[in-house]
Structure 1
Amino acid sequence: MQNIHTLIVTGYRSFELGVFQENDPKVKVIKKVIKNTLEQYLNEGLSWVLLGGNLGVELWCGQVVEELKVDYPELKFSLIFPYLEFGNQWNETNKAALQKVVEQADYVDTVSHFPYKNPSQLKNHTHFLLTHADGAVIIYDDDYTGKTSYFLHDANEYASEHVFLIHQITMDDLQEAVFDDSV
């Protein structure tokens, strides 16, 4: 079994799940699943979580990591944006949510030091994340398509040539968590 020190966490954007309020019950379930998953890896040596800063799973994960730091002070997370000025086009509520997670992050940077120019910046971002982590936790179900399919495709390609863990959490896994009493 490989040691997992650094994990990427990614998945659905909030709008892909029909989540437009932070108090949506789906958020509670997803955060619980993220927390339980990260705790498994924390007991095996996880020390860093890499996030790309997208609305949805990634920002919720940043919030979960902050909660986990109470019991796991060694845990850190970084926001690595694909390009400069990431999120500037978002509405004020979403910008505020991003800013709060940025303030909590242990490290913040961008792969491209230019504002968005072309899709190669997104491809370079994915490559950077994959080459700086031991694995990825991906909340994504092939039956419910979304933007994360691009990351999952690249992660599977990368894993076919490198030692790289892919822990995929499906809609069935999320549904199971709904019926777990501790939600």
Structure 2
Amino acid sequence: MYKSAAVTGYKPHEIGVFNEKHEQLPYLKRALQKALTARIEEWDLSWIVITGQPGVELWAGEAALELKKNEFPDLKLAVLAPFYHQEERFPEPVKVLYQKVWDGADFKDYITKRPYENPSQLRMKNEFIAEKTDTALVLYDEEIEGTPKFFLAAAKKQAGKTDYPLVYVTPDDIEDLIREEHIDGAD
């Protein structure tokens, strides 16, 4: 039904994750993988589309590569960076993850074919991704504002024109997963 899903969400600093060793990061990654798996199975999703920004997008890219390797060999990952060299300002561990996801992607390109010039490139990125995908999976809570609000504005505009479902993964979903795993682990 829906073949391509944009995946986005908070940047690491927006949710208090300042390194890859953060104690809740494995749960967040599993929650993303669980949400992606549900969408793949429910919608016969074949493409995961990210822009490669730090945080949820790169973690989703990593999850998509794992799902492709282990469960869904036909799944494809597209990385559509908003501009050339976006990773130059990323901290070193994020650059490493970006390169891993970029190298593993089935399709990669740049939305604006030039280096960063101004914020309009980011607006164009949001509009482009919303227009070129069938649905979106967003790790976001409307009560905890962050940069995903800009993509959501473009996605909601797209949803007003076409059938474009927005699926949210919230911090509460991650907390539920943590509780569920702790209960299962206690049995």
- Is the TM-score greater than 0.5? yes
1:36 shift after superposition: 1.2
**Structure 1 residues 46-79: Cα deviation after superposition (integer angstroms, max 9, x where no partner):** 1100001111101111111111112100001011
Map of 1:46 onto structure 2: 45
The aligned runs of 1:93-132 (5 Å cut-off) are: 93-132=93-132
Q: Distance in 2 between matches of 1:90 and 1:174?
A: 25
**Structure 1 residues 3-60: Cα deviation after superposition (integer angstroms, max 9, x where no partner):** 1110001000011111122122222111111111111122131110000111110111
The aligned runs of 1:130-149 (5 Å cut-off) are: 130-149=130-149
Residue identity matched to 1:150: F
1:159 shift after superposition: 0.6
Map of 1:60 onto structure 2: 59
**Structure 1 residues 134-166: Cα deviation after superposition (integer angstroms, max 9, x where no partner):** 100000011111111111122112211211010
Unpaired stretches in structure 2, ≥5 consecutive residues = none
Residue identity matched to 1:37: A
Map of 1:11 onto structure 2: 9
Three-state SS of the structure 2 residue aligned to 1:160 is helix
Map of 1:79 onto structure 2: 79
Three-state SS of the structure 2 residue aligned to 1:55 is coil
Q: Normalized per residue, which structure has more helix?
A: 2
Q: Distance in 2 between matches of 1:132 and 1:96?
A: 27
Q: What is the TM-score when the length of structure 2 is the normalising length?
A: 0.92
Q: Distance in 2 between matches of 1:39 and 1:97?
A: 21
Q: What is the TM-score when the length of structure 1 is the normalising length?
A: 0.93
Unpaired stretches in structure 1, ≥5 consecutive residues = none
8 A contact 2:77–2:105 mirrored in 1: yes
Q: Which of 16, 25, 28 in structure 2 is aligned with 1:30?
A: 28
Equivalenced residue count is 181
Q: Distance in 2 between matches of 1:99 and 1:131?
A: 26
